[in-house]
Amino acid sequence: MEKILDVKELRTNFYTDEGVVKAVDGLSYHINKGECVGLVGESGCGKSVSAMSILRLIPYPPGVIEGGEILFKGEDLLEVSEERIREVRGDRISMIFQEPSTSLNPVLSIQRQLTETLELHRGMKSKEAKAESVRLLDVVGIPDAERRVKDYPHQFSGGMQQRIMIAIALSCNPDVIIADEPTTALDVTVQAQILELIAEMRERLGTAVLIITHNLGVVARYVERLNVMYAGSLVETGPTDEIYANPKHPYTIGLLRSVPRLDKPRTEVTEVIEGMPPNLAHLPAGCRFAERCSFVMDQCREEKPVLAEVSEGHFRACFYDADKLI
């Protein structure tokens, strides 16, 4: 399949008083045209920083993209001019941020926020842009779109605000949508509605989607391939069905076991991963999961494992015998 976005050995650091925080450290993954890919891991593991790095939105100082490649249709976004990256942002690659209440401008109507994008990137005249803004709200399921498009963000619920963010993301028919924790702070029913909407838009428009989340339960039915991230690096990657059925990294196993299940007795306590992730400013020499891993060996504390294929398209970074993990 054709790769539309290819991240290679991405490194993003933050320079702080405590030291150099290696938020993203040698991260590599790709997204094929029209594909839905998941990037999962605990909060603070570098998922959102990697997404912001793709669009060169890392605040400087203290953040610096130190190295790697971000190839979009073969073009390295880390090497292009500021003018070019502005053309790509929102037009060819759109982002749905995790907090719509802080992403939407509180003093501008929804219509103005939509028409601004349409006029800038699609060159529409005011009248045409206003008509398109109503159509977009209707597409994402906002009732009475013609009237409500003139409302302000505070007049919408959290779920409706996220639908508006999706409308803005779709407004330029992008090639890739990055959804960064799109269901954070939403109740379970609304979470499902938002994910179904993203899936429906992807199916209808053929847009590739990267869903970033800390919740493995959220992405199970929506993503085709899964990337599991821990402390700035990938620890496992492969087809979603394969990873859910046959996880091969202790961290992935821990994440899956921590997801509440309906097929278990209500009295059974959900498992948790003991301990805390390492300080990204003082990373250990060996495996970064070693201190929390129940399968840890001496080798794990001394060497950092690299991704190796365990089955077709399924890779993991672990020294322990894959067949003895579960």
Q: What's the chain's average pLDDT?
A: 93
What does each C-alpha distance from 134 to 94, 111, 151, 160, 230 come to in angstroms?
19, 8, 12, 14, 41
**Number of other CB atoms surrounding residue 242 within 10 Å:** 17
Which pLDDT score, from 0 to 100, does residue 262 have?
A: 66
3-state secondary structure 75-119: EECCCCCHHHHHHHECCCEEEECCCHHHHCCCCCCHHHHHHHHHH
Q: pLDDT tens digit string along 2-22?
A: 999 999 999 999 999 999 999
The pLDDT-based confidence of 268 (bands split at 50, 70, 90) is: low
Contact predicate 176/210, CB 8 Å = yes
pLDDT, mean of residues 219-243: 95
Distance CA 316, CA 326 (A): 15
Ordered domains of the chain (ranges, CATH) = 3-223 (3.40.50.300)
Which pLDDT score, from 0 to 100, does residue 179 have?
A: 95
How many Å is the Cα radius of gyration of the chain?
21
Q: pLDDT tens digit string along 280-317?
A: 999 999 999 999 999 999 999 999 999 999 999 999 99
Distance CA 99, CA 103 (A): 6
Q: pLDDT tens digit string along 44-82?
A: 999 999 999 999 999 999 999 999 999 999 999 999 999
**Number of other CB atoms surrounding residue 80 within 10 Å:** 16
Q: pLDDT tens digit string along 146-200?
A: 999 999 999 999 999 999 999 999 999 999 999 999 987 788 888 888 889 999 9
Please state whether the predicted TM-score (pTM) of the whole model is above 0.75: yes
Residue 263 predicted with pLDDT over 80: no
Q: pLDDT tens digit string along 116-152?
A: 999 989 999 999 999 999 999 999 999 999 999 999 9
Residue 101 predicted with pLDDT over 90: no
Distance CA 259, CA 242 (A): 17
Q: pLDDT tens digit string along 28-37?
A: 999 999 999 9
The pLDDT-based confidence of 269 (bands split at 50, 70, 90) is: low
User: CA end-to-end span of the chain, whole Å?
Assistant: 33
pLDDT, mean of residues 262-275: 75
Q: What is the DSSP letter of 290?
A: G
Contact predicate 135/169, CB 8 Å = no
The pLDDT-based confidence of 264 (bands split at 50, 70, 90) is: low
| Residue 289, token pair as written in the block | 């999961």
